[in-house]
């Protein structure tokens, strides 16, 4: 069950000179461009100091905002400024920043320059100016997506991962672009007085047809963990050339993939029409969804429901569905909703006791997204303690991408994929930096729940660790069609979601107890048999109509950034419910 309540009071601080937001140019049109560059979080958290957040303004200044006296936000303080004007650089993307340790940070200016900065002890030296200890060019404007500092033989060694989308001249490339991941190792220069200066000692590059949605370096720098719709491969290594047999394996994989596509064309796979409708059911209702032409107005939709019969059509057009229902419906409890290109019909069952084997008598037409009654019967036979939800409760908006995504570890020396896990059917939700210096967690959707995982590459027997489960969060976030950012607190006490503007949702559930499961809320308002989770909502009037550009969640606050304001919501004990 999800209860709603108001969320606490907001704190507002003006943003100086706006936020360095770069809009994508017309030639950067692929989904990967949007994923990598277009959906950037412009507010940066500091894992070593939960009281501060950072952003880069239009003047190229890194601004620090710190919570003062635990009650209000301090004035933005510039701690670093880019040395050259980059705003008008051709092909530029937004700046990106990542903290490597309690005294170092990496920054990409979006125009082809990578900087490593000595920040001082940020948690105590609030006014210290940052100093450049490395500056180098990258071939294409990139984003710094991960980095760390580790111990080396001659001092601290830095590992950095840069992500970019670049043109792919290969004829086999469908979009004309591919994603590239650049792995840099920086070692300290000898004989330097003061903060160490660094130089690149090793450069590795990986490439793949799709951009990764999770990238993380191992704490000791021996490998990386990558999750993507299509696997990445090592293409070059300055310290160890990529073996010829590795290249042959990759070529073979590409050839096999091309052969499969050609076979599908010969078999007419591309010409197979999708079912006219999809339907799913719970014990209480049946949900039917239709794909409509984008220009179909709401007023042209015609739906007629009787206890025994259903008819759906478009005025002046074809009938989408007509026939005798396989079970009895309650017309008064049934309803439909329209959105551009989509119609969703909910039929309330007159007798909510059993599953319908089919939607229309005779099994005419569409596809059952939950594999019909067979899957339902299988779940019915399982002990109640093992199943929180029947997958038939899922709706079309809950569907995960069709790509067979994988999560794998790539060894930095052998270039081999040492572990691989298939993520197909599990929608990626968010990453979570839970503790300074640790690998970030990866949150995936499992049925209606959201499960938080973290790699354990040092453990051959158990390379992935399950950290936590947010019951029903997968279902909740799917219902927020305007969602933009989703994250959880480092302590995992709650998750927070913000829409494109104005509204923020905080999701919290009580601590788990043995044998309890979260159940669907009953329609008559009576309490169910499960634990109650609370969804709290804040409408930020101070944000106006400006879209949210940044989002940071700590154990005590939720920070939100717009072009003109930085807002903070205090998460108090009384908000737990």
Q: 313 is in which domain, residue-wise?
A: 276-365
Q: How far, in Å, are 302, 486, 505, 576 from residue 499 at the CA level? A: 32, 9, 8, 21
- Please check the confidence at residue 115 and state whether its pLDDT lies above 90: yes
Lowest mean pLDDT among 58-67, 308-317, 346-355, 563-572: 346-355
At residue 454, does pLDDT exceed 90? yes
Residue 46 has pLDDT above 90, yes or no: yes
- pLDDT tens column, 118-139: 999 998 876 778 999 999 998 7
The answer to whether residue 258 sits within a structural domain is: no
pLDDT given for residue 532 in this prediction: 59
pLDDT, tens digit (0-9, with 9 covering 90-100), for 325-361? 888 888 888 888 888 888 889 888 887 656 787 888 7
| Mean pLDDT calculated for residue range 295-309 | 87
Domain end position, chosen among 211, 243, 263: 211
pLDDT in tens, 239-266: 998 876 555 455 545 555 555 555 444 4
Q: What is the mean pLDDT of residues 428-457?
A: 92
Neighbouring C-beta atoms of residue 470, cutoff 10 Å: 24
> Does 36 fall in a domain?
yes
Same domain, 7 and 55: no
CB-based burial of residue 517 (10 Å sphere; 0-12 exposed, 13-18 middle, 19+ buried)?
A: middle
Helices (H) and strands (E) in the chain, counts: 4, 39
Burial class (CB in 10 A: 0-12, 13-18, 19+), 372: buried
Over residues 450-457, the mean pLDDT reads 90
Q: Are 47 and 172 members of one domain?
A: yes
Structural domain contains residue 392 = no
Q: Are residues 128 and 49 in the same domain?
A: yes
Compute the residue count for the chain: 577
Task: Look up the CATH number of the domain holding residue 326.
Answer: 2.60.40.790
Residue 472 lies in a domain: no
Last-in-domain residue among 167, 185, 211:
211
**184 in the same domain as 48:** yes
**pLDDT band, residue 275 (cuts 50/70/90):** low
Same domain? 98 vs 197: yes
3-state secondary structure 56-121: ECCCCEEEEEEEECCCEECCCEEEEECCCCCCCCCCCCCCEEEECCCCEEEEECCCCEEEEEECCC
In a domain, 259, yes or no: no
**Domain tally, the chain:** 3
| 151/111 same-domain check | yes
pLDDT at position 121 is: 92
Same domain for 10 and 90?
Answer: no
Instruction: Specify whether 92 is located in the same domain as 42.
Output: yes
Whether the pLDDT of residue 435 is over 70: the answer is: yes
- Residues 1, 87 within the same domain: no
DSSP 3-state of 154: coil
Residues 100 and 5 in one domain: no
Q: Are 106 and 4 in the same domain? A: no
Q: Has residue 420 been placed in a domain?
A: no
What was the pLDDT predicted at 291? 86
Q: What is the mean pLDDT of the chain?
A: 79
Span 2-25, pLDDT tens digits? 444 445 556 777 777 889 988 877
pLDDT of residue 264: 44
In a domain, 389, yes or no: no
Is residue 333 one of the residues assigned to a domain? yes
**Structure token digits, residue 403:** 């790509």
The residue out of 211, 242, 260 marking a domain boundary is 211
pLDDT, residue 98, reads 97
Cβ proximity of 502 and 540 under 8 Å: yes
For residue 574, the model assigns a pLDDT of 47
pLDDT band at 297 (very low <50, low <70, confident <90, very high): confident
Percentage of residues in the chain having pLDDT higher than 90: 35
CA distance 30 to 277: 28
Compute φ and ψ for 574, nearest 5 degrees: -70, -15
Q: What is the pTM of this model?
A: 0.71
3-state secondary structure of 429: strand
Q: CA nearest 454: which of 471, 473, 433?
A: 433
Q: Do residue 351 and residue 494 come from a single domain?
A: no
Per-residue pLDDT, averaged over 266-290, amounts to 68
**Dihedral of the CA atoms 371, 374, 376, 379 (nearest 10)?**
-120
**CA separation for the pair 302, 299 (Å, rounded):** 8
């Amino acid at each position: 069950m999800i209860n709603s309540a108001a969320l606490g009071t907001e704190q507002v601080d003006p943003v100086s000179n706006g936020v360095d937001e770069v809009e994508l140019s017309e030639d950067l049109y692929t989904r990967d461009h949007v994923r990598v560059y277009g959906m950037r979080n412009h507010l940066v958290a500091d894992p070593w100091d939960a009281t501060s957040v950072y952003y880069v303004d239009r003047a190229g200044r890194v601004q620090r905002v710190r919570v003062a006296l635990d009650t209000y936000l301090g004035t933005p303080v510039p701690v670093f400024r880019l040395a050259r004007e980059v705003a008008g650089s051709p092909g530029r993307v937004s700046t990106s920043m990542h903290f490597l340790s309690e005294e170092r940070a990496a920054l990409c200016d979006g125009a082809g320059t990578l900087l490593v900065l000595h920040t001082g002890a940020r948690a105590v030296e609030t006014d210290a100016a940052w100093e450049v200890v490395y500056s180098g060019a990258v071939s294409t404007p990139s984003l710094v997506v991960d980095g760390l500092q580790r111990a080396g033989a001659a001092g601290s060694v830095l590992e950095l991962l840069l992500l970019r989308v670049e043109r792919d001249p290969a004829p086999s490339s469908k979009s004309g672009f591919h994603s590239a991941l650049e792995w840099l190792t920086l070692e300290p220069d000898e004989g330097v007085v003061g903060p160490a200066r660094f130089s690149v000692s090793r450069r590795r590059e990986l490439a793949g047809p799709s951009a990764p949605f999770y990238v993380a370096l191992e704490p000791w720098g021996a490998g990386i963990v990558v999750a993507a719709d299509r696997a990445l491969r090592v293409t070059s290594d300055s310290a160890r050339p990529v073996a010829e047999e590795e290249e042959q394996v990759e070529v073979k994989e590409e050839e096999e993939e091309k052969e499969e596509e050609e076979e599908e064309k010969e078999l007419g796979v591309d010409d197979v029409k999708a079912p006219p409708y999809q339907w799913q059911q719970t014990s209480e209702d049946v949900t039917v969804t239709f794909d409509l032409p984008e220009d179909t107005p709401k007023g042209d939709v015609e739906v007629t429901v009787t206890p025994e019969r259903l008819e759906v059509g478009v005025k002046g057009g074809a009938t989408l569905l007509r026939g005798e229902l396989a079970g009895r419906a309650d017309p008064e409890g049934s309803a439909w909703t329209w959105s551009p290109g989509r119609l969703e019909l909910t039929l309330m069952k007159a007798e909510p006791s059993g599953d319908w084997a089919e939607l229309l008598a005779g099994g005419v037409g569409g596809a059952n997204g939950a594999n019909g009654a067979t899957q339902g019967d299988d779940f019915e036979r399982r002990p109640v303690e093992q199943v929180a939800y029947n997958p038939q409760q899922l709706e079309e908006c809950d569907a995960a991408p069709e790509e067979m995504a994988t999560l794998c570890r790539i060894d930095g020396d052998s270039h081999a994929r040492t572990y691989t896990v298939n993520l197909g059917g599990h929608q990626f939700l968010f990453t979570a930096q839970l503790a300074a210096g640790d690998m970030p967690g990866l949150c995936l959707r499992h049925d209606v729940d959201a499960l938080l995982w973290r790699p354990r590459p040092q453990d051959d027997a158990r390379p992935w660790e399950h950290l936590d489960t947010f019951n029903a969060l997968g279902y909740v976030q799917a219902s927020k069609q305007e969602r933009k950012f989703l994250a959880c607190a480092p302590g995992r006490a709650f998750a927070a979601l913000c829409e494109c503007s104005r509204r923020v949702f905080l999701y919290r559930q009580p601590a788990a107890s043995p044998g309890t499961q979260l159940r669907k809320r009953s329609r008559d308002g009576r309490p169910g048999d499960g634990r109650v989770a609370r969804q709290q909502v804040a409408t930020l009037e101070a944000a106006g109509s400006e879209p949210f550009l940044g989002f940071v969640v700590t154990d005590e606050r939720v920070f939100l950034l717009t072009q003109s304001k930085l807002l903070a919501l205090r998460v108090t004990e009384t908000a737990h419910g």
